[in-house]
Amino acid sequence: MAADGAQRVMEDSSDSDDSMSGKRPVFSSEETALPDDLLENSEEFVRLYEEHQPELQQVIKDLEGSSDEFLDKYGTATRASRAGGLVGAAGVVGGIGTAGAAILFAPFTGGLSLVLGAASVSAAVGGGAASFKSNTIKEIEQKKAVDEVENALNKFNTTTDRVTNRLKNICNDVEKIWQYQNDEQSRLIKHGIEHFRKSVEDLSDLAKLFAPGDLRRVLEQGTRTVHMHKFMQTFIAVLLNMLGFLFILEDNRTLRDFDKLKRRLPVREEELESKAGKFIYKMRETINHLQNTLNELETSKSEVERVIIPNLNQYVKQQREAHKSAESD
């Protein structure tokens, strides 16, 4: 139910500390608090989404390219060398590589490029002084690449969090108006809870601005977007954890997994045999959730622009005119 979903959103209403510098008409009545806040949050939600959408979409595009390039470069290098054994280790446990084994996540240029350098793998498998001397450089490059993946995911998470916090506030206020339209506040007053009376009086004008069906759709869409964002955060956390403990073996199991993933065959995670294969699978799954979250934010933005902003702008305009008229009298 929309009200139940929105009630859960209301628990997080204090998450946002963003502020908007736009000027608002100042009225003497406390009645203006909710419409003023709702309009501010709505306009700021739209502004933040439009400002950050291009860079968020670019992060998704870069990550998609990274997983594909990784599969291609790793498979090519592995088949060229086929020396077997441990090729490398990426992560914070046990350092990165040994004198005879190192995996290279190439430096990122023009976006994210989580790729395995074929030449580096061949050199590492071949061993010898050249491989040993290049170890420090490889470690630095690998750390930089891994850090950039982490930074990209964290950036997507924190940026969408800022945008979504505004949407939470919108859902909270829409919930109040929608409940009033469904006589929720009136029912409480009839049971003797007098401190709700002021709220009912404040919401009476606002309730007339919106069709109940429109508010319900805004509330349902906004609540779904907030929940999608929280779901996305869990996938980012899992992927970052896997990235920190990723070990790649140059063996047939890894190659079989990579072949399946490269051809984009329908496959379940439990059917994959290697940690590297499961990492790429989880990376693609996370990318899907990033895109779904961005799509949900776009839909919520459209609903807010369609229903909330034009009606509240008209309401604020009327209040301003009424205030001026009262002052002239």
Of residues 288 and 145, more confidence is placed in 288
pLDDT score of 206? 86
pLDDT score of 322? 77
User: pTM of the prediction?
Assistant: 0.73
Please compute the mean of the pLDDT values over residues 139-151 and round it to a whole number: 71
pLDDT score of 44? 98
Which helix (H) or strand (E) covers residue 49, if one does? helix 33-81
Give pLDDT tens digits for 221-230.
999 999 999 9
Please compute the mean of the pLDDT values over residues 147-155 and round it to a whole number: 86
Q: Give residue 91's region: left, alpha or beta (phi > 0; psi -120 to 50).
A: left
Please compute the mean of the pLDDT values over residues 9-28 and round it to a whole number: 43
Do 207 and 177 meet the contact criterion of CB atoms below 8 Å apart?
Answer: yes
Q: Specify the range with the lowest mean pLDDT, choosing from 97-101, 140-144, 285-289, 302-306.
A: 97-101
Percent of the chain topping pLDDT 90: 35
Name, of 97-101, 260-264, 323-327, the range with top average pLDDT. Answer: 260-264
pLDDT score of 4? 55
pLDDT category of residue 97 using cuts at 50, 70 and 90: very low
Please compute the mean of the pLDDT values over residues 128-154 and round it to a whole number: 65
DSSP assignment of 177-216 equals HHHHHTTHHHHHHHTT-GGGHHHHHHHHHHHHHS-HHHHH
Q: Specify the range with the lowest mean pLDDT, choosing from 80-84, 210-214, 225-229, 285-289.
A: 80-84
pLDDT at position 16 over 60:
no
CA distance 146 to 240: 10
pLDDT category of residue 85 using cuts at 50, 70 and 90: very low
Please compute the mean of the pLDDT values over residues 183-189 and round it to a whole number: 55
pLDDT score of 196? 47
CA neighbor of 241 nearest in space, from 153, 177, 323, 303:
153
pLDDT at position 30 over 70:
no
Q: What residues contact 138, with CB distance under 8 A and at least 6 apart? A: 96, 97, 102, 104, 120, 124
Which helix (H) or strand (E) covers residue 91, if one does? strand 86-91
Of residues 103 and 39, more confidence is placed in 39
pLDDT category of residue 266 using cuts at 50, 70 and 90: confident
Of residues 136 and 301, more confidence is placed in 301
Of residues 310 and 65, more confidence is placed in 310
**Torsion on CA atoms 1, 15, 287, 238, rounded to nearest 10:** -100
pLDDT at position 162 over 90:
yes
Q: Specify the range with the lowest mean pLDDT, choosing from 39-53, 194-208, 253-267, 299-313.
A: 194-208
Q: What DSSP designation does 245 have? A: E
CA distance 301 to 149: 28
Q: What is the mean pLDDT of the chain?
A: 73
Of residues 173 and 26, more confidence is placed in 173
